[in-house]
Amino acid sequence: MAQQVKPSIPKGTRDFGPIEMAKRNYIFNTIKEVYALYGYQQIETPSMENLSTLMGKYGEEGDKLLFKILDSGNFMADVKADEVLNGEGKPDGTAKLAARICEKGLRYDLTVPFARFVTMHKEELCFPFKRYQIQPVWRADRPQKGRYREFFQCDADVVGSECARRHQDEQPQDSGRHRRGHRCA
């Protein structure tokens, strides 16, 4: 007879019932209303980013706290046994192996994805750009009392300046015309 497994969640995570969600939504909505009063705009970024975007931005210790996502499909097809095991048949080089089989990771915070967002969307943004973001982040840390692997983070930033706005408005578009009708003007 198969042993019945009791449902559980991973350590460092938690469920939120209707009462907690009502309180949480009240707080989040209040934060959003205040940011809107001051001209901040809400953005969202994907929960996962390319590891090339995330790695090296948090320091060596921070990089160890990134949840890496295995590539889909037959991700081990090109990995040789000696890349997984050392000469004594023991696991070796986990960082090197992870780099070969993981291209994505869960975001550690909201700042690095925001920098990527600005870089990718700079032609669409009006500077100075005031943004806020309320989304979950993940840390591959040992959970302790009061510390979770998954939690919400709230960030607000202003990027660019009025000078950048004037420069942006004066730049010719591809058609050779100036951006006088641009929404930032």
Residues 157 and 76 in one domain: no
Whether 24 is covered by a domain: the verdict is no
Residues 88 and 166 in one domain: no
Rounded-to-integer distance, Cα 171 and Cα 180, Å: 9
Overall number of domains in the chain: 2
Say which range, 34-48, 110-124, 170-184, has the weakest mean pLDDT. Answer: 170-184
Cβ neighbours of residue 174 under 8 Å, at least 6 residues apart? none
- Is the N-terminal amide bond of 128 cis, ω within 30° of 0? yes
Rounded-to-integer distance, Cα 69 and Cα 103, Å: 7
Q: Place 178 in a pLDDT band, splitting at 50, 70 and 90.
A: very low
Residues 66 and 94 in one domain: yes
98 is in which domain, residue-wise? 50-106
Whether 164 is covered by a domain: the verdict is yes
Residue 16 gets which letter from DSSP?
A: -
Residue among 32, 52, 40, 62 nearest 113 (CA): 52
Say which range, 83-87, 100-104, 171-175, has the weakest mean pLDDT. Answer: 171-175
Q: Place 101 in a pLDDT band, splitting at 50, 70 and 90.
A: confident
Q: Give the domain-ending residue among 87, 106, 125.
A: 106
Q: Is the pLDDT of residue 60 over 80?
A: yes
Whether 20 is covered by a domain: the verdict is no
For 131-176, how does the pLDDT look when each residue is reduced to its tens digit (9 = 90+)?
999 999 999 988 888 889 999 999 999 999 876 555 555 554 444 4
Report if pTM > 0.85: no
Residues 90 and 120 in one domain: no
Q: Place 17 in a pLDDT band, splitting at 50, 70 and 90.
A: very high
Q: Which token pair is 9?
A: 């969640």
Residue that is written with structure tokens 């690095």 in the block: 112
Rounded-to-integer distance, Cα 159 and Cα 128, Å: 6
Rounded-to-integer distance, Cα 138 and Cα 64, Å: 12
Rounded-to-integer distance, Cα 22 and Cα 32, Å: 15
Residues 97 and 112 in one domain: no
Residues 142 and 161 in one domain: yes
